[in-house]
């Protein structure tokens, strides 16, 4: 008997990220040397003090259920983080802990979206944004940007895509995949548009907040436009800044009525994230932040290696990143000249097969013709991969 699957999964596309990841791993297993510029995972270990806190938690008996919205000590740490780093004050009932930052966004979407609602998503975007909207039977509406405009969403473009069906706008800064940071001035301009739509929620995904080297103070949409606070959910977590992707701890802050609904939903899905992980996350947020600064310094150095290497290849257009551990070079001219390669998907396969370089097709992020290059890997691998690109296309 043929199985009829639910439309919410039938409409989803398979991830190019996982396809390239699987192919790269298979080639590596065959003995090929593969340069992994596809990773969305920090290549550093979780800081020792954080691991030690998790180990102590096991010995101290943190092996049972916790409150759905998070352990009190972690919620206190989240409240302290928001005030210390962002100048945002939340009460205990305005924050919650989730199984990674992705679940915070999923909880929000499931709590506020109705079938037929529209979700405005600037391009390029993290692939889970439109996927989660579709799972909620909402329609993604894309706000186009380009490398020529610095991948920055403009207020004019935002105004054009807003409609009476718009229910949610998602912002991400620094951006996965472009590495660009939305300035305070740009956020203020976007905020003036959003103020005209009082029934629209905003999600600001700040997961890469600390991975920056632009030299400026960090702002999200609430900092820039305080009037939007009660309909904005600020999403963050410990995955990227503390190299804790596998611990699965995210958190968010927002108006109490919104967080209450998200908490209700989480209670009927995952409940809480692992108790031991929550203790470790509290240690990360409350502890010495030198470990974060050390990792950022390494990413900035690696980014410079990427920038220097790409500068030698005229056929690749490149916008230097301001943060994260990604950039999004434009390979359109290389696609045009390579025989048998018609798009970025085929180019990603060609690079793996011929040069042993793994990068993610830009079409996975709404940026066809581009490839996402991750420098969450060693200096040596970055230098060798860029040298191979230079020999092939320089």
Residue 193 lies in a domain: yes
Residues 127 and 203 in one domain: yes
Residue among 361, 333, 307 at smallest CA distance from 21 = 361
The model's pTM is 0.96
SS3 for 168-187 is EEEEECCCCCCCCCCCHHHH
Residue 244 lies in a domain: yes
> Could you report the per-residue pLDDT of 318-363, keeping only the tens digit for each?
999 999 999 999 999 999 999 999 999 999 999 999 999 999 999 9
State the Cα–Cα distance between residues 45 and 242, nearest whole angstrom. Answer: 8
User: Per-residue confidence at 1, pLDDT binned at 50, 70, 90?
Assistant: low
Domain of 194, CATH number, reads 3.40.640.10
User: Per-residue confidence at 15, pLDDT binned at 50, 70, 90?
Assistant: confident
Q: Are 97 and 69 in contact (CB under 8 A)?
A: yes
User: Per-residue confidence at 17, pLDDT binned at 50, 70, 90?
Assistant: confident
> Could you report the per-residue pLDDT of 196-239, keeping only the tens digit for each?
999 999 999 999 999 999 999 999 999 999 999 999 999 999 99
What's the mean pLDDT in 185-193? 98
What's the mean pLDDT in 275-289? 98
Residues in the chain, overall count = 394
**Residue 214 neighbours by CB distance under 10 Å:** 14
Burial 54-76 (b: 16+ CB within 10 A, else e): beebeeeebeeebbbbbbeebbb
> Could you report the per-residue pLDDT of 378-390, keeping only the tens digit for each?
999 999 999 999 9
- Classify the phi-psi angles of 89: left when phi > 0, otherwise alpha if psi is within -120 to 50, otherwise beta: beta
Give yes or no for residue 2 having a pLDDT over 90. no
Residues 238 and 344 in one domain: no
∠ CA 275-277-282 to the nearest 5 degrees?
100
What's the mean pLDDT in 249-273? 98
Residues 90 and 147 in one domain: yes
Residue 55 lies in a domain: no
Residue 54 lies in a domain: no
Q: List all residues 6 or more positions away from 48 whose beta carbon is below 8 Å from its beta carbon.
A: none
Query: Residue 140's pLDDT is what?
Result: 98
Give yes or no for residue 193 having a pLDDT over 70. yes
**Rounded mean pLDDT of the chain?**
96
SS3 for 213-236 is CCCCCCCCHHHHCHHHHHHEEEEE
Burial class (CB in 10 A: 0-12, 13-18, 19+), 131: middle
Torsion sign across C-alpha atoms 372, 128, 5, 25:
positive
∠ CA 278-78-80 to the nearest 5 degrees?
135
For every residue of 341-352, DSSP letters joined together read --SHHHHHHHII
What's the mean pLDDT in 181-194? 98
Residues 111 and 252 in one domain: yes
Range of the domain at 372: 7-45+290-393
Terminal CA-CA length for the chain? 55
What's the mean pLDDT in 186-194? 98
Residues 294 and 282 in one domain: no
Identify any residues that bridge with 204 across adjacent strands, giving them in sequence order: 171, 234
Residues 199 and 322 in one domain: no
Residues 246 and 260 in one domain: yes
State the Cα–Cα distance between residues 180 and 326, nearest whole angstrom. Answer: 9
Domain of 40, CATH number, reads 3.90.1150.10
């Amino acid at each position: 008997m043929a199985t009829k699957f639910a439309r919410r999964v039938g409409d989803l596309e398979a991830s190019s990220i996982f396809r390239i990841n699987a192919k790269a791993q298979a080639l590596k297993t065959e003995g090929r040397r593969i340069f992994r510029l596809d990773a969305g995972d920090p290549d550093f270990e979780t800081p020792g003090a954080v691991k030690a806190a998790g180990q102590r938690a096991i010995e101290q008996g943190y092996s049972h259920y916790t409150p759905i919205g998070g352990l009190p000590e972690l919620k206190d740490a989240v409240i302290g983080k928001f005030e210390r780093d962002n100048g945002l004050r939340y009460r205990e009932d305005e924050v919650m802990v989730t199984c990674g930052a992705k679940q915070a966004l999923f909880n929000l979407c499931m709590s506020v979206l109705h079938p037929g609602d529209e979700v405005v998503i600037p391009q390029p975007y993290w692939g889970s944004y439109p996927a989660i909207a579709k799972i909620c039977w909402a329609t993604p509406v894309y706000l186009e940007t380009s490398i020529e405009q610095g991948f920055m969403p403009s207020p004019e473009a935002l105004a054009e895509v807003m409609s009476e069906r718009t229910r949610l706008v998602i912002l991400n800064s620094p951006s996965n995949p472009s590495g660009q940071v939305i300035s305070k001035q740009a956020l203020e301009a976007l905020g003036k548009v959003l103020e005209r739509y009082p029934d629209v929620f905003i999600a600001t995904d700040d997961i890469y907040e600390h991975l920056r080297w632009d030299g400026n103070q960090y702002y999200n949409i609430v900092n820039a436009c305080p009037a939007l606070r009660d309909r904005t959910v600020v999403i963050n977590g410990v995955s990227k800044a503390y190299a804790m992707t596998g611990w699965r701890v995210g958190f968010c802050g927002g108006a109490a009525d919104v967080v209450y609904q998200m908490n209700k939903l989480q209670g009927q899905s995952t409940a809480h994230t692992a108790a031991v992980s929550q203790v470790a996350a509290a240690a990360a947020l409350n502890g010495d932040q030198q470990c974060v600064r050390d990792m950022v310094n390494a990413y900035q150095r690696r980014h410079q290696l990427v920038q220097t290497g790409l500068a030698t290849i005229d056929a690749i257009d490149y916008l230097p990143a301001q943060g994260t551990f990604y950039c999004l070079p434009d390979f359109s001219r290389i696609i045009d000249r390579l025989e048998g390669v018609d798009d970025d998907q085929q180019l990603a396969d060609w690079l793996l097969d011929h040069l042993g370089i793994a990068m993610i097709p830009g079409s996975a992020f709404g940026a066809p013709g581009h490839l996402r290059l991750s420098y969450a890997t060693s200096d040596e691998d970055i230098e060798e991969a860029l040298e191979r690109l230079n020999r092939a296309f320089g």
